[in-house]
Amino acid sequence: MHKHELVVVANRLPVDQHVASDGTRSWVTSPGGLVTAMKSVMEDVDSAAWVGWPGLTDEAIEPFEADGMSLFPVFLTNSEVEKYYEGFSNGTLWPLYHDVIADPNFHRTWWDAYVDVNRKFAAAAASVAVRGGTVWVHDYQLQLVPEMIRAQRPDLKIGFFNHIPFPPFELFAQLPKRNLVLRGLLGADLVGFQRERDSINFMTCVRQLLGYRSAEHEIHVPGIGVEPDRTVVARAFPISIDTSVYDRLTKDPAVLKRAEEIRAELGNPKRIVLGVDRLDYTKGIRHRLKAYGELLAEGAVDPHLVTMLQVATPSRERVDAYRQLRDEVELTVGRLNGDFAPLGRPAITYMHRSFNREEMTALYMAADVLLVTSLRDGMNLVAKEYISSRVDCQGVLVLSEFTGAADELRAATLVNPHDIDELKTAILHALAMSPDEQRAAMESLRRQVENNTVQDWADDFLSVLSEGGERNSSPHIP
Ligand code: ADP
Ligand code: G6P
């Protein structure tokens, strides 16, 4: 089999299967930022591969090429999807790592499936990487993979990036099998996080639970038996977006026309307030609707002049907490419209579906205010996409302090979404900001986003990984 210099390992493959009306199937590159970032990195190396789950359970798919990438599908059974993906990943880890906003559930059978599936991903990655190559593992679904790969392939440089928060010790300590998770991650040469705070939380857990020494960003991992000691670097690498996509789309006449149409379709209101999220309880959609609903009830926001558009991508629809959230959000939107919407014009337009990049950009360009009210969020790329779309330097970003993005985007209107009064004040302030005030804030935000694109992020991570990997492959003197 042909071997690859760089192997990306992520729960999902970077392509989705599309079935045409005549039944023919094709693979289409997924629109996410990670895919775009990896594609640009993958183009720079002689040979790169991606190991991931194709999102199907009914059939095993052979490795294939799509959009210039070599893709290695990992087959998951229905039971593995239920226990590894919906169970341990999204029923245990996701809520625990997001400040227990929802109750984490734990079942030993979920853990067993998590171990088995991580082993499948590790075996696939180990079999396609060239001697001395680099493997980059992504996200909370695959935390055991670094150690599993190292056991088979100590010649590889192994990086891990956690896209979601890493919880404080007091919360992480609740996780059954917590030490095995830490050991899994420490199989990497470099463990990357979104925020400095996440890397500190991780190092604290490693010190408290495993007793390993650490200084600055380096963790001393003692070798067992004949294994040499190693140094693992844990550091923040805040992820970003591909700004060139928005440079292009904001100049596209069809997108500009669509932004106008959106405003017209919403009744040409004075102000449009936008929310764009996966329908996830971490996004604070309930808090947002509560604050907005109170403003409507108090008459502080006039639905004849201001309209809200909430776009909610369907997500993890078989997990209980997500079903409940959907019911609550849809009930609340229905109630608020029943109570406050003028005839023929909703106070809140709610769309439970996905859109392409062109439509998303047009939405961002049409919106006067973007509300990001996450109760906890690793980064929040929607905030950066909005900024990148505002080439006119207008628009206001209301941004929760509990996002990774808030660490960088200090010129946003920062809020604590738990404080409904503060959120209401922030929304009113955003609606009232003058064009000059909007410009001053947006110029600063745009500089910030332009100075750290997703390509910078990937280059930075891979160059630190390359140094760390070299050090661990040479004899280490503690
Ligand atoms: P998360 O990774 O938790 O979903 P982010 O804000 O970091 O949150 O990333 C969400 C990504 O999904 C963004 O790139 C955003 O543009 C995209 N997205 C969100 N909602 C939609 C939608 N309805 N249609 C298409 N893309 C969406
Ligand atoms: C977040 C996670 C990703 C995940 C994405 C979509 O961004 O960090 O790992 O892929 O949400 O969720 P899904 O469960 O549909 O893959």
Provide mean pLDDT across the span 177-189: 98
With both helix axes pointing from N to C terminus, report the angle between 381-389 and 357-366 in degrees, rounded to the nearest 10. Answer: 70
Residue with tokens 């990036």: 161
Question: Which residue, 143, 147, 144, 156, is CA-closest to 49?
Answer: 156
Provide mean pLDDT across the span 402-417: 98
Please give the pLDDT value at position 475: 45
Please give the pLDDT value at position 323: 97
Share of the chain above pLDDT 70, in %: 97
Band (pLDDT 50/70/90 cuts) for residue 165 is very high
Please give the pLDDT value at position 104: 97
Residue with tokens 């695959």: 142
Joined together, the tokens standing for residue 368 give 């006067």
| Position 327 pLDDT exceeds 50 | yes
Q: Residue with the nearest Cα to atom 10 of ligand 2?
A: 12
Interatomic CA distance for residues 448 and 445, integer angstroms: 5
Residue type, 274: L
Q: Residue with the nearest Cα to atom 12 of ligand 2?
A: 315
- Complex ipTM over 0.95: yes
| Residue 103 DSSP one-character state | P
Contacts (Cβ under 8 Å, ≥6 apart) of 376: 98, 99, 101, 165, 282, 402
Band (pLDDT 50/70/90 cuts) for residue 39 is confident
Please give the pLDDT value at position 41: 79
Q: Is the CB of 164 under 6 A from ligand 2?
A: yes
Provide mean pLDDT across the span 190-198: 98
Please give the pLDDT value at position 71: 94
Please give the pLDDT value at position 69: 84
Band (pLDDT 50/70/90 cuts) for residue 473 is low
Interatomic CA distance for residues 16 and 129, integer angstroms: 24
Band (pLDDT 50/70/90 cuts) for residue 2 is confident
- In 3-state terms the chain splits into helix, strand, coil percentages (rounded to 5) of 45, 20, 35
| Position 35 pLDDT exceeds 90 | no
Contact 289, 283 (CB under 8 A): no
Q: Residue with the nearest Cα to atom 22 of ligand 1?
A: 354
Please give the pLDDT value at position 303: 98
In angstroms, the Cα distances linking 286 to 31, 171, 333 are: 27, 24, 10
pLDDT in tens, 102-114: 999 999 999 999 9
| Position 476 pLDDT exceeds 70 | no
Please give the pLDDT value at position 32: 67
Contact 398, 382 (CB under 8 A): no
Question: Is 56 or 416 the better-scoring residue by pLDDT?
Answer: 416
Please give the pLDDT value at position 18: 82
Q: How many CA atoms lie within 13 A of 337 on its CB side?
A: 18
Provide mean pLDDT across the span 374-387: 97
| Position 231 pLDDT exceeds 90 | yes
Interatomic CA distance for residues 330 and 328, integer angstroms: 6
3-state SS of 352-414 is CCCCCHHHHHHHHHHCCEEEECCCCECCCHHHHHHHHHCCCCCCEEEEECCECHHHHCCCCEE
pLDDT in tens, 236-252: 999 999 999 999 999 99
Cα of 268 vs centre of ligand 1, distance in Å, is 26
Please give the pLDDT value at position 120: 98
Provide mean pLDDT across the span 262-289: 97
Provide mean pLDDT across the span 122-139: 97
Residue with tokens 């992480």: 172
Choose which residue among 56, 315, 374, 381 to substitute to test ligand 2 binding: the one with the highest number of ligand atoms within 8 A of its C-beta. 315
Contacts (Cβ under 8 Å, ≥6 apart) of 137: 9, 10, 121, 125, 145, 146, 149, 158, 159, 160, 161, 188
Cα of 32 vs centre of ligand 1, distance in Å, is 8
Please give the pLDDT value at position 59: 79
Share of the chain above pLDDT 90, in %: 86
Provide mean pLDDT across the span 26-39: 76
Among all ligands shown, which has an atom nearest to the Cα of 11? 2
Interatomic CA distance for residues 166 and 200, integer angstroms: 9
